[in-house]
Structure 1
């Protein structure tokens, strides 16, 4: 299976930015659950924890397209380095506020800066692949590889931050996340050879969100983000209700593990179905696979249920990025891909808030209904607007073999 993926790294510089990008975006699966574990432990309220986590996610969602536009205009290095240090300083401030029992508003205020200064490093990595591979068939394999890398992060990250927070120190998980994001992002930014060129004049053109297909994809990923945000928070509460709070990271790892396995498989397949049809079918499988978790009451069975629920995530996300690559001009590529992160961020914020409120009011098992409704909404939007996702399939990265 590794053959097609190994071929991606024959170009000089690719290994470096992939490794740095992996380390730098490791915290994307650690930050939210780390904040939920910290705040819920200190306050005893999942609603408060979800609200602060949602604040971070909303701030990120608002800022991601703006930082993406800055990157298109000035280049990755000039934007990433100052932002990552601001992000790190704000996260340190949040932990200090929590430690010394500062007023609750200080946690929200620092959360705004934590999220606003966070960067969509996954979009930056994919923008480099798009710059290096252009319309090559290998781009499908590269996007598949990055989705698998994301899922490895989502398998390892929640388990790591949960273990560190519950077994070592309440702040240990967030400290590790801080170190990873600063070191990884700076190392990524310093690798200039593979950096896409800045296009100051062209990047002043209209925003990619005005393209109907991009707007539609953003709406779909908003609904999918609501699934991710709610499942993350509700699963922590579900594990606690079953006397196994420390296992919440493993449960979320199972969810991401299903996505990782399907991503590896998806990247190796020769696809003759169009991108938009693959996208719509992936959404349908996602909604169907999520439904059984509503009736599961045992922790071990839930791990299996979440694994199967995650199987459609990677193929759907890979296809979504491939559609963005086809719909958005090259000089707006980073911002275009950042809109996916923005949509997911808003969705995660909504899901974390709603999941916290519903968990406190109706219990974790019943709160999963919100996740399923959100998945069905994603299907309805994707199916209803699928004609906006038509792209020329000739030489489309997703329409070729992944170099077996």
Structure 2
């Protein structure tokens, strides 16, 4: 089922008007591709590691909840609630144009993502835990969408695809680290429940510490990280 849905989603994206209308950026043959990493991109990718830690920790927390309450279904229901929140949040976010710069929207989404994990600290029972997992998920698509647009702005035109790969890798590394750390905290319910919030807090702290800066210019595009 995952493979079928993945293929269907890929086909939908590839046949959508924006994909069919897209043209690659023209670059000079033999020209320098430009320096990929700058302070803005590095800070963004580190912040996304924190987002990944929260997601990885949540997955292990769900298994621990299932064991604690002797309800195997929770191991799937809690991540599903998180994913449902992400799906519905993405639909809402994409339905209209929101005020603020991409950076401000990213910060707003990260604040909501961090606050959404706080109810887990109360060690809720299954029903409230399921509702709680929905809330941070609602902000995930906003974070990822704005991370991609900011990456597109800050990366050199000839290295955008490479920058996207680093973006995805940052989240994946965070997920792996979060899952590994959560495994070690599995016997400590309060610490395990705090891990997703800790990862989200790391992401928010890094974004707040980021300073406006310039990356190599691309005609007609914002060059600022911040604001």
Which of the residues 309, 315, 324 maps onto 2:151?
324
Q: Do structure 1's residue 311 and structure 2's residue 106 form an aligned pair?
A: no
> 1:330 Cα shift?
3.1
State the match for 1:86 in structure 2. Answer: none
State the match for 1:362 in structure 2. Answer: 188
- Partners of 1:129 and 1:348 lie apart in 2 by 30
Q: Do structure 1's residue 205 and structure 2's residue 33 form an aligned pair?
A: yes
> 1:272 Cα shift?
3.2
Contact 2:63 2:75 in 1 (8 A): yes
- Partners of 1:395 and 1:243 lie apart in 2 by 53
- Partners of 1:203 and 1:251 lie apart in 2 by 49
State the match for 1:169 in structure 2. Answer: none
State the match for 1:351 in structure 2. Answer: 178
> 1:302 Cα shift?
0.7
Aligned-CA RMSD value: 3.4
> 1:285 Cα shift?
1.1
Query: Equivalent residues in 2 for 1:73-84 (5 A)?
Result: none
Which of the residues 58, 77, 83 maps onto 1:250?
77
Which of the residues 298, 316, 340 maps onto 2:125?
298
- Partners of 2:214 and 2:139 lie apart in 1 by 19
Gaps of 5+ in 1: 1-19, 27-120, 135-195, 397-404
Contact 2:153 2:221 in 1 (8 A): no
Query: Equivalent residues in 2 for 1:276-291 (5 A)?
Result: 276-291=103-118
Say if 1:229 and 1:273 are closer, same or farther in 2 by CA, change over 3 A: same
SS at match of 1:383: helix
> 1:221 Cα shift?
0.3
State the match for 1:238 in structure 2. Answer: 65
State the match for 1:44 in structure 2. Answer: none
Say if 1:235 and 1:200 are closer, same or farther in 2 by CA, change over 3 A: farther
State the match for 2:202 in structure 1. Answer: 377
Higher helix share: 1
- TM-score normalised by length of structure 2: 0.81
- Count matched residues: 214
Say if 1:131 and 1:354 are closer, same or farther in 2 by CA, change over 3 A: farther
Say if 1:24 and 1:358 are closer, same or farther in 2 by CA, change over 3 A: farther
Q: Do structure 1's residue 23 and structure 2's residue 26 form an aligned pair?
A: no
- Ranked by relative contact order (alpha carbons within 8 Å, sequence separation 6 or more), the top structure is 2
> 1:197 Cα shift?
8.9
